[in-house]
């Protein structure tokens, strides 16, 4: 199968799958999700992604429809049915199904899964960025389905010919991107926003910090601002989709690209880790 869809035990070609209108995702975006890459039929960092999904569900009091292990087994079973082992594996749990009312529905949540072809970038090609004020809600640390601000920012980036949008708060504090984490390198040190309620601490972000520790690269988890971003030696963007990229432009002006050797050490480390763990 080239692309697969799954809903509460039923699955088939993605474009042929349907879901009930009364699923609470339709009314409220009431659910949590996680996702990550798969290579050679092996899902990368699966335990970490599943743990985050369950933390997000607990934070919103969503009753999970199966255990962590059962979900991992289900994902691995579906992956084995695909034509290619290079995939993007997406899964979400919505609060349930019922007529539209704001109060919670009873019972377990609904499990959605999609498997689509994707090859993870090796990070060699630099990307272009824009900035946009971060006006999202104050629960960015929960990976919910309420993604309208990220959708609008991503559209703004696409219309500007850019891959990502970097969010900043009033006062200029940089938080994260529309669907990635952003970091800077300055004078040989990696700076990344602290894992508070203003960012979703990404799995790739955690692997980047671990890479810094292994490689002996100083790392500081502390706020930085737009001025720091614009004057950085390198601007790094990490996500489960593409692991580690660096930027060459922000808001139409050249940026970063001043410490390619240090970026290359991190890029190679993360790429090699991904390849080793999926071989």
Q: Mind listing the domains of the chain with CATH numbers?
A: 4-117 (3.30.470.10), 127-277 (3.20.10.10)
Residues forming the active site: 143
Q: What is the mean pLDDT of residues 255-273?
A: 98
Closest CA to 193 of 160, 228, 146: 228
The whole-angstrom separation of Cα 31 and Cα 151 is 17
Q: How confident is the model at residue 56 (pLDDT cuts 50, 70, 90)?
A: very high
Please say whether the beta carbons of 200 and 167 come within 8 A: no
**Does 233 have pLDDT greater than 90?**
yes
Overall residue count recorded for the chain in this entry: 279
User: Mean pLDDT in the chain?
Assistant: 96
**Does 91 have pLDDT greater than 90?**
yes
Q: Provide the token pair at 203.
A: 């799995």
Please say whether the beta carbons of 191 and 220 come within 8 A: yes
Tens-digit pLDDT profile for residues 158-201: 999 999 999 999 999 999 999 999 999 999 999 999 999 999 99
Q: How confident is the model at residue 103 (pLDDT cuts 50, 70, 90)?
A: confident
- Say which residue the tokens 């790392």 belong to: 219
Q: What is the pLDDT of residue 138?
A: 82
Closest CA to 135 of 183, 191, 175, 184: 175
- Range in 2-16, 139-153, 196-210 with the lowest mean pLDDT: 139-153
Closest CA to 209 of 192, 232, 196: 192
Q: Provide the token pair at 198.
A: 């203003």
Q: Where are the alpha helices (DSSP H) in 133-202?
A: 148-159
Q: What is the mean pLDDT of residues 225-250?
A: 97
Q: What is the pLDDT of residue 135?
A: 87
- Range in 50-54, 144-148, 249-253 with the lowest mean pLDDT: 144-148
Q: How confident is the model at residue 115 (pLDDT cuts 50, 70, 90)?
A: very high
Q: What is the pLDDT of residue 148?
A: 87
Please say whether the beta carbons of 227 and 174 come within 8 A: no
The whole-angstrom separation of Cα 104 and Cα 102 is 6
The whole-angstrom separation of Cα 260 and Cα 126 is 11
257, with CB counted inside 10 A (0-12, 13-18, 19+), is middle
The whole-angstrom separation of Cα 149 and Cα 147 is 6
pTM of the model: 0.88
- Say which residue the tokens 């695909």 belong to: 82
């Amino acid at each position: 199968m080239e692309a697969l869809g799954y809903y509460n035990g039923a699955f088939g070609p993605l474009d042929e799958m349907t879901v009930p209108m009364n699923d609470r995702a339709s009314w409220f975006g009431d659910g949590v999700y996680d996702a990550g890459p798969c290579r050679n039929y092996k899902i990368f960092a699966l335990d970490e992604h599943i743990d985050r999904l369950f933390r997000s569900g607990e934070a919103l009091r969503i009753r999970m429809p199966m255990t962590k292990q059962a979900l991992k087994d289900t994902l691995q079973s579906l992956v084995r049915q695909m034509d290619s082992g290079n995939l993007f594996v997406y899964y979400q749990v919505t609060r349930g199904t019922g007529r539209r009312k704001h109060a919670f529905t009873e019972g377990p949540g609904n499990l959605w899964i999609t498997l689509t072809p994707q090859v993870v970038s090796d990070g060699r090609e630099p990307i272009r960025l824009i900035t946009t004020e971060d006006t999202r809600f104050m629960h960015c640390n929960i990976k919910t389905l309420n993604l309208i601000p990220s959708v609008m920012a991503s559209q703004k980036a696409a219309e500007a010919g850019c891959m990502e949008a970097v969010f900043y708060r009033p006062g200029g504090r940089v938080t994260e991107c529309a669907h990635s984490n952003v970091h800077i390198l300055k004078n040989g040190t990696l700076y990344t926003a602290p894992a508070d309620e203003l960012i979703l601490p990404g799995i790739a972000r955690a692997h980047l910090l671990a890479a810094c520790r292994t490689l002996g690269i100083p790392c500081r988890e502390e706020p930085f601002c737009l001025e720091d971003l614009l004057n950085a030696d390198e601007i790094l963007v990490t996500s489960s989709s593409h692991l580690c990229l660096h930027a060459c432009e922000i808001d139409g002006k050249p940026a970063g690209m001043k410490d390619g050797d240090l970026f290359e050490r991190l890029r190679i480390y993360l790429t090699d880790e991904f390849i080793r763990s999926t071989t």
